[in-house]
């Protein structure tokens, strides 16, 4: 019964996961609060790895939110997951300063209406086919299984 309660939110989560894409944007067009994925140059990666931000890199990439813009710098807030007492995870935002000359490519997260529409159409078709199959089948089983035999009666005499 609980599986039915989780099926709809799970289906919605799966359908909405394909609704975003990253579109290339010039570094000069970045604004504060924008969710971005940046490709950093080799010089920038070396500088970041020699500082305290080495764990924020994913290869040559950094994903986060633009916190502030300067004349020749960007401040990007990058999510970082920390284990607390090896029991639960906590996500904090860590700021990473980048020079504009170190950013080779910037991509902005955008809502993709076409992909969302097709995801919803596909999900609706799968749900309709599942409901149709369940209704046609009608819950009839193809056979029965025998119940297990009762346990044997064991008599142990207490006195002889």
pLDDT tens string 99-135: 888 889 999 988 888 888 888 899 899 999 888 888 8
pLDDT at res. 11: 60
The residue assigned the tokens 């992909």 is 115
* Structural domain for 54, as ranges: 22-111
pTM: 0.59
What average pLDDT score do residues 80-97 get?
83
pLDDT at res. 1: 43
Q: Specify if 29 maps to a domain.
A: yes
Q: What percent of the chain has pLDDT over 90?
A: 3
CA dihedral 83, 86, 88, 90 (to 10 degrees): -10
pLDDT at res. 45: 87
Q: Specify if 151 maps to a domain.
A: no
Q: Which of 104, 52, 105, 56 is nearest to 76 (CA)?
A: 56
Q: What's the number of domains the chain is made of?
A: 1
């Amino acid at each position: 019964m609980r599986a039915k309660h989780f099926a709809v939110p799970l289906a919605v989560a799966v359908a909405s996961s394909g609704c975003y894409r990253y579109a290339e944007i010039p570094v000069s067009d970045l604004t504060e609060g924008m969710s971005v994925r940046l490709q950093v140059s080799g010089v920038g990666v070396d500088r970041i790895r020699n500082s305290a931000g080495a764990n924020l890199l994913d290869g040559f990439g950094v994903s986060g939110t633009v916190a502030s813009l300067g004349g020749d710098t960007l401040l990007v807030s990058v999510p970082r997951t920390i284990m607390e007492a090896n029991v639960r995870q906590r996500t904090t935002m860590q700021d990473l300063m980048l020079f504009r000359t170190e950013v080779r490519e910037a991509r902005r997260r955008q809502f993709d209406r076409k992909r969302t529409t097709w995801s919803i159409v596909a999900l609706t078709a799968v749900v309709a086919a599942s409901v149709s199959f369940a209704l046609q089948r009608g819950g009839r089983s193809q056979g029965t299984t025998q119940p297990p035999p009762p346990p044997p009666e064991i008599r142990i005499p207490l006195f002889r």
